[in-house]
Amino acid sequence: MEQREVVVVDAVRTAFGRAGDKGVFWGTRSEDLAVGLLKALVERNPGVVPGMIEDSLWGVTNQVKEQGGTLGRMVTMLAGWGWEVPGCSLDRMCASGLTAAGFASACIASGMHECLVAGGVEHLGHVPMGFMRENHPRAGEAMGGEYAFNMGLTAEEIHRRFPEFTREMADEVAFHSQRKADEAMRAGKLSDRIIPIPVTLADGTGAVVDQDQHPRPGTTRQALAGLKTPFLENGNVTAGNSSGLNDGAGALLLMSGDLAREIGLKPLMRWVATGVAAVEPGIMGTAPVPATEKALKKAGLSMGDLDVIEINEAFAVQVLWCLDRLGVAADDPRVNPWGGAIAFGHPLAASGPRLVAFLAGHFRDNPRARYGLTTMCVGRGQGYSMVWENLQRN
């Protein structure tokens, strides 16, 4: 059977807040972050009505409390879409939202569906990482060591096994992530994909959140060098060269190319290929390499064919390792041109859709660019990569 063309019509997200009571979304529930995006996808795209959307696939890592109860279904009803739009929740930890995009793409490509929403949401302030999770008694043994449960220690393990990637190099990645994020924000590069979310702040006042809270534009190399290493005494991984704990959501509107043309929408990008891979959990941050290699092989492309590379910066050292093994320099201008998760934060399932939204922006700004990559590492030792083609080209 011939594979159908799959296109992304829109890619939106909330701003990312800091987790905890100082975060802008402390008084806002996870579902309401997602609901704002669902409403925006319909409002922003004339010709699209809720009845066209055949399923709502939502990545959610910690599916308890407000994030349980099949959030992907509940948010369609909270958005006022009626009872007829189905939905589900998916968990592949950090790549839950990107997996939702991958599953949606596969469903449309196969002819099973014409139009889907794929998103991801995480409120780490309300539902902390690992909350209410009960691991199997042999889980540590199966993963090669108890340290594999702690993502910071898996990053330290990469430093230990591959000492050529130093603390100074990791801090340099972090410095440039913050610098590039600041430049992009100042230039207004991010505003068209951030959906304003009304919130109630801790003091009871109302506000509308439309700017990321996590970036630290004044970050200096000296400040990064002075940070402690909380995961390992005299280690290399710090709060400065790691992604943050955050709250946020992101969502994509995907459909067949035929449907987009029929209703007169101009797609942003075309799905090309997906690759998922697994590695030793103790060095989980290395998995984007085999995942990317699989995706590129399916696409018939090489790293040299990619014009933009959006890699989630879970930890600076894993970005360094992955780029090196993929034959890409750490300072290659194709990599995270607007900065990454070290600057913007990493609300787990929301980060995959954020990568796609950023890629759409890069494609808009670079009409000569043809192919782009979104890739992530995943707790427990997985990687997820997707290759996309720019449809905003001259």
Q: What are phi and psi of 195, to 5 degrees?
A: -90, 120
Planar angle of CA 247, 365, 216, nearest 5 degrees: 35
Residue that the structure tokens 């592949």 belong to: 92
Is 346 marked active-site? yes
Residue 23: name the closest of 128, 98, 151, 150 by CA.
128
Neighbours of 373 (CB within 10 A): 30
First-to-last alpha carbon distance for the chain, in angstroms, is 31
Strand-strand pairing, 87-90 and 56-59: parallel
Which is the catalytic residue, given 107, 115, 322, 377?
377
Which is the catalytic residue, given 88, 94, 136, 214?
94
Which is the catalytic residue, given 159, 176, 214, 346?
346
Give Cα 79 distance to the centre of its chain.
23
Query: DSSP letter string over 5-27?
Result: PEEEEEEEEPPPEESSTTSTTTT
Could you tell me the two tokens for 158? Answer: 């990469």
Beta bridge partners of 389: 270, 371
Q: Are 283 and 353 in contact (CB under 8 A)?
A: no
Q: Within a 13 Å sphere around the CA of 54, how many CA atoms are in the beta-carbon half?
A: 14
DSSP conformation class of 292: H
> What three-state secondary structure class fits 335?
strand
CA–CA separation, 130 vs 127, rounded Å?
8
CA–CA separation, 157 vs 302, rounded Å?
29
Strand-strand pairing, 87-90 and 115-123: unpaired
Q: Are 159 and 319 in contact (CB under 8 A)?
A: no
Is 377 marked active-site? yes
Which residues are marked as active site? Answer: 94, 346, 377
